[in-house]
Amino acid sequence: MNKLLKRITVRMVLSLVCPMLLAGTASAGEFDGFAGKRGQINIAGGTAHIPVMKNAAKRIMQANPGIRISIAAGGSGVGVQKVGEGLVQIGNTGRALSDDEIAKYGLKSYAFALDGVATVVNPKNKVNNLTSAQVQAIFAGRITNWKAVGGRDAPIHLYTRDEASGTREVFWEKLLKKGAIADNANVVASNGAMKTALAGDPDGIGYVSIGHIDKTIKAPRLDHVAPSQKNALSGKYPIVRKLYMNTKGEPQGLTAAFINYIKGPAGRKMTIDAGYLPLN
């Protein structure tokens, strides 16, 4: 409810402010791909994509009143299904398509962003490095005291995310190797709430999207690799996923223009603003 209200307020404020700003910030050529085009693009799927998609849609629609862009959530599975059945032009996924999916629907994938997930603790925590095995044992509830991993003698407080979270999905698949997460772990509803909880709890451990790491929390190295944007981009830090836009067959017209816009300079900036790393 509150989220909804906030969204409505944000939308109202933006719709007031954007036209004023737009005149000043729209660089020449930003909307060239849309020149003379009219019509509708429907987008559905991954939730992580939504901030970038919404931002892009808002700017494109304001500059080109003839174009309507609708964005729906639903998760990666829904994204594949809807674009495959031809219900939407772009189906977003937070994972690479399986060979089955590509074969069944004839889909084309366009990766535009990299999202990394890091294990995080309170800044007062002395632990500076954790191995993958240690993280798995901690989240499964097999290691329950910080002393066992070189910290102070205190019980470990687990924090995790709800099942709808893409952050949780990457963390669970790539770092925990689909292992168990202890039932008694506290569940928080967003990356922001995770940060607040860990900033206050000296014995807590959780995980956030790399874009969310700041001074209030600390990300220990994972197997001696720092979870930085640089290491995520070079491939040294492995707990990452790409965000994809998928189309049925080669994208045409408006859809192609939209994908080019997201991958172009304006889209790259929006990707960075949303806390992700833009891909070429």
Partner 1 sequence: MTVRLLHCAAAVSALSVLAIFGFLLWFSLPVFQGGALAALFSWHWRPMQGEFGILPMIAGSLCLALPTMLIAFPVALGLCAFIHGMGPAWAARPLIGMVRFMTSIPTVVYGLVSVFLLVPLLRSSLSGSGFSWLAAMLTLSLLVLPTIVLILDNQFRMIQSEIGLGALALGLTPAQQLLRLTLPLSSRGLLMAAALGFGRAIGDTLIPLMLAGNAPLLPHSLLDSIRTLTSHIALVVATDSQSAAYSSLFACGLILFIASFLVNLGLHDLRNVRRKGHD
CA dist., res. 208 & res. 119, Å (int): 7
Q: In angstroms, give the least distance from the CB of 78 to partner 1.
A: 6
Q: Which is nearer to partner 1, 155 or 265 (CB)?
A: 155
The radius of gyration of the chain's CA atoms, rounded to the nearest angstrom, is 20
Alpha-helical (H) ranges within 64-212 are 76-84, 99-105, 132-140, 166-170, 191-200
Q: In angstroms, give the least distance from the CB of 167 to partner 1.
A: 12
Q: Which is nearer to partner 1, 15 or 196 (CB)?
A: 196
What residue type is assigned to position 160 of the chain? T
Q: Which is nearer to partner 1, 30 or 173 (CB)?
A: 173
Q: How far apart are the first and last CA of the chain?
A: 38
Q: Which is nearer to partner 1, 38 or 147 (CB)?
A: 147
Q: Which is nearer to partner 1, 166 or 275 (CB)?
A: 166
What residue type is assigned to position 155 of the chain? P
Question: Mapped to the 3 state alphabet, what secondary structure does 122-144 carry?
Answer: CCCCCCCEECHHHHHHHHHCCCC
Rule CB under 8 A: which residues touch partner 1?
1-2, 47, 73-75, 77-78, 155, 157, 159, 162-164, 172, 178, 183-189, 193, 196-197, 200-201, 203-204
* 50 contact partners, CB below 8 Å, separation of at least 6: 71, 73
Q: In angstroms, give the least distance from the CB of 205 to partner 1.
A: 10
Q: In angstroms, give the least distance from the CB of 2 to partner 1.
A: 6
Q: Which is nearer to partner 1, 178 or 215 (CB)?
A: 178
Q: How far is CA 41 from CA 48, 50, 247, 256, in A?
A: 19, 14, 12, 10
Q: In angstroms, give the least distance from the CB of 231 to partner 1.
A: 28
DSSP string, 194-250: HHHHHHH-TTEEEEEEGGG--TTSB--EETTB---HHHHHHTSS--EEEEEEEEESS
Q: In angstroms, give the least distance from the CB of 8 to partner 1.
A: 16
What residue type is assigned to position 169 of the chain? E
